[in-house]
């Protein structure tokens, strides 16, 4: 059975569903505060599970540094940029930009791990890039008025943040792969990665708050519940599924399958907003999947 590949697809489904849950609370609280609260809640969830399951016993001392470094890059930098992108570009555009982590992972594997990069890989990467451009430029009809289809601020800043989030995710996966291949418990590694993200993100929030005092939105029970559900689905469940996939599959293949989130997101957006996604959105997402398929079968 392709259990590791199925885990990667499950991670994609988790991230697509989490994008729908996260869009409104992220805009309400702001990217940094939303990420900080979410990570803290997820850290508590994972910590209880790791202590109860004894998964921490599978971790060697040599695994600590790469797991924490992976969290610093993939969780702290990646999550902060991801939700800053969502606040600017909406969940659909953010999802398609974040899907670039798949070809980025392949290129990083070629550069740093000596993995083969074939002509088919190259064509797949170009299709992914073309799909992203198509989905961003032609992914919205004039009749679509939902706030998630609007762009706040410069679109180029949003695109740069989205690509930065994708690169951070790809680099984080690359760094932690040897730990997962060594047999470490996925939930324990996830817990360490989130711990690094919590420490760094709250340190950054503290420094920014000292420099500028701003009124804060009240964290109501409803907002807290949305943040908690988003964190559980995306980080506690989705990230653990991804790490389990990495424990037995190639980083490029597993990350590629997890990049199906933009396609899974479109029908969810249709159900949530009542607006049929534009033809360009479907075509762009399918091009990304086709590109990922070429990478997968290279």
Percent of all residues in the chain with a pLDDT value above 90, rounded to a whole number: 16
Q: What is the model's pLDDT at position 296? A: 65
pLDDT digits (tens, 9 = 90+) for 120-154: 888 888 888 888 888 877 777 766 666 767 778 88
pLDDT digits (tens, 9 = 90+) for 242-277: 878 877 877 667 766 777 787 788 888 888 887 878
pLDDT digits (tens, 9 = 90+) for 276-287: 788 888 888 888
Q: What SS3 state is found at 183?
A: coil
- Which span out of 54-68, 87-101, 214-228 was modeled with the highest average pLDDT? 54-68
Query: What is the residue extent of each domain of the chain?
Result: 3-119+152-210+218-273
Q: What is the model's pLDDT at position 267? A: 84
Instruction: Break the chain down into helix, strand, coil percent, rounded to 5.
Output: 85, 0, 15
Tokens in use for 149? 């289809």
**Nearest 5°: CA angle at 71, between 60 and 7?**
80
Total residues belonging to the chain: 298
**CB-count burial class (<10 Å; 0-12, 13-18, 19+) for 56:** middle
- Residues 283 and 40 sit within 8 Å (Cβ to Cβ): no
Average pLDDT, the chain: 84
Q: What SS3 state is found at 151?
A: coil
pTM beyond 0.85, yes or no: no
CA 105, CA 251: separation in Å to the nearest integer?
7
| Residue 1 predicted with pLDDT over 70 | no
Q: pLDDT-based confidence at 218, cuts 50/70/90? A: confident
CA 237, CA 16: separation in Å to the nearest integer?
12
Of 2, 239, 287, nearest in space to 123 by CA: 287
Q: What is the model's pLDDT at position 113? A: 74
pLDDT digits (tens, 9 = 90+) for 153-189: 888 999 999 999 999 988 998 898 888 888 888 889 8
CA 40, CA 125: separation in Å to the nearest integer?
35
Of 12, 11, 9, 17, nearest in space to 261 by CA: 12
CA 276, CA 266: separation in Å to the nearest integer?
9
DSSP assignment of 86-147: HHHHHHHHHHHHHTTHHHHHHHHHHHHS-----HHHHHHHHHHHHHHHHHHHSS--TT---G
User: What 8-state DSSP symbol labels residue 149?
Assistant: G
Of 107, 83, 110, 111, nearest in space to 97 by CA: 83
CA 183, CA 210: separation in Å to the nearest integer?
42
Q: What SS3 state is found at 54?
A: coil
CA 268, CA 262: separation in Å to the nearest integer?
10
Of 228 and 297, more confident: 228
CA 158, CA 179: separation in Å to the nearest integer?
32
pLDDT digits (tens, 9 = 90+) for 40-89: 998 998 899 899 988 888 888 889 999 999 999 998 998 889 888 988 88
Q: pLDDT-based confidence at 199, cuts 50/70/90? A: very high
Q: What is the model's pLDDT at position 286? A: 85
Residues 6+ apart with CB under 8 A from 64: 192
The total of other beta-carbon atoms located within 10 Å of residue 59's CB is: 20
């Amino acid at each position: 059975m392709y259990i590791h590949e199925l885990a990667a697809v499950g991670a994609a489904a988790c991230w697509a569903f989490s994008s729908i849950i996260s869009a409104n609370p992220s805009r309400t609280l702001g990217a940094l505060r939303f990420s900080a609260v979410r990570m803290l809640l997820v850290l508590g969830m994972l910590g209880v599970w790791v202590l109860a399951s004894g998964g921490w016993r599978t971790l060697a001392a040599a695994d600590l540094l790469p797991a924490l470094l992976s969290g610093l890059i993939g969780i702290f930098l990646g999550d902060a940029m991801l939700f800053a992108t969502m606040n600017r570009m909406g969940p659909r555009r953010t999802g398609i930009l974040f899907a670039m982590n798949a070809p980025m992972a392949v290129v990083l594997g070629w550069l740093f791990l000596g993995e083969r990069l074939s002509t088919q890989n190259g064509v797949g990467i170009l299709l992914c890039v073309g799909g992203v451009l198509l989905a961003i430029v032609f992914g919205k009809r004039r009749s679509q008025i939902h706030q998630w289809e609007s762009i706040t601020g410069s679109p180029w800043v949003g695109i740069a943040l989205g690509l930065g989030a994708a690169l951070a995710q790809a680099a984080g996966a690359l760094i932690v792969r040897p730990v997962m291949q060594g047999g470490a418990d996925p939930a324990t590694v996830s817990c360490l990665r989130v711990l690094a993200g919590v420490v760094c993100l709250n340190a950054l929030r503290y420094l920014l708050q000292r420099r500028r005092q701003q009124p804060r939105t009240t964290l109501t029970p409803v907002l807290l519940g949305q943040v908690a559900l988003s964190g559980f689905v995306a980080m506690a469940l989705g990230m653990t599924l991804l790490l389990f996939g990495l424990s037995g599959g190639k980083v490029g293949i597993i990350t590629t399958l997890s990049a199906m989130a933009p396609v899974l997101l479109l029908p969810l957006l249709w159900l949530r907003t009542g607006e049929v996604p534009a033809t360009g959105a479907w075509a762009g997402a399918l091009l990304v999947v086709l590109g990922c398929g070429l990478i997968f079968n290279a």
